[in-house]
Amino acid sequence: MSGFILLDKVAGETSFKALFPLKRVFCTKRVGHAGTLDLRASGLIIAATGRATRLLPYVEAKDKCYTFRLHLGYETDTLEWDGDVVEQGAALTVSRAALEAVLPQFTGDIDQVPPRYCAVKIDGRRASDWAERGKDFEMKPRRIHIESLKVVGEGGITEGCSGKEFATFDIECVCSKGTYVRALGRDIARALGTCGCVSQIRRHRIGKVSVESAVHGEDLTREHLKPVEQVLDFPVVKLDADQMAVIRKGNWIPWREPVEGAERQQGRGDDCERLVFAADANGNVLSVCRYEPGRICPKIYLGEDE
């Protein structure tokens, strides 16, 4: 069975472990997910089974929406609220207006240095593995895109803080793939003249898909499997049996009709390919194709083998 599953990951569970219910329910090891969430983060993971796993890069390219709590006054090794304190700053007076005044510095295309505790590979190993072993290494900046940042609350309390905070703010962030919310919190705090860390990271949305449509792993059933066209918004073209047979064999077909929506860029980072879903006469999506003026070319076949 191929398709997407929308999971609401709980904090304290790895993204890898969150996939275990899929393997059990769908009796397959062919599963994957788009966009790893930190162990302590919660929220939406879009997973896939079967041949739909080949579409995960297009899901991962979509913008994402997070909320997180920024703790001002101390910084930890993990950039989380309960890590080992590496810097304790003096108490300052930081107003909501002052925070909102620095947020525009972090919108648009920016360079971000990932946290030392992350999955970025350094000499073939995760940076977090080197950090846990006390190794000295350099994290290089990466270009990311922050679409928007806004303050949605202040003064919230998170239990278990390892340092002394003087203020907390809840922030909503819409950003590109590759963005580390923990690093964003660190950099915002530094722009305010202090240090900081984060807690309560939650991913609410990937593309147009909301966590409100997701299910917890323990409640997963086969009925939660979603057709690929409900998650990716590629235009759908219907083909007759002869046309689909040509596509199935890896050959292109002539196509003179305009395809509404195919001119749009299909997400950030996919070289502006004009992608469409090819469906059979019954509306079943069987292939992802590339639309070009005058023809449709096969890219990824999603149907079952004959």
Residue 128, in any domain of the structure: yes
Q: Are residues 49 and 112 in the same domain?
A: no
Range of the domain at 46: 3-62+207-230
138 in Cβ contact with 51 (< 8 Å) = no
Residue 74, in any domain of the structure: yes
Higher-confidence position of 270 and 139: 139
Residue 306, in any domain of the structure: no
Q: Are residues 129 and 95 in the same domain?
A: yes
**Mean pLDDT, rounded, of the chain:** 91
pLDDT one-digit tens code per residue, 155-208: 999 999 999 999 999 999 999 999 999 999 999 999 999 999 999 999 999 999
pLDDT above 60: residue 270: no
Mean pLDDT of the 282-296 span: 92
Task: Choose, from 38, 77, 136, 280, the residue flagged as catalytic.
Answer: 38
Confidence of residue 96 (pLDDT cuts 50, 70, 90): very high
Residue 235: what pLDDT? 93
> Is 38 in the active site?
yes
Domain CATH number, residue 240: 2.30.130.10
pLDDT one-digit tens code per residue, 196-242: 999 999 999 999 999 999 999 999 999 999 999 999 999 999 999 99
Q: Are residues 77 and 112 in the same domain?
A: yes
Residue 250, in any domain of the structure: yes
Instruction: Give me the number of domains the chain comprises.
Output: 3
Residue 119: what pLDDT? 79
Q: Are residues 11 and 94 in the same domain?
A: no
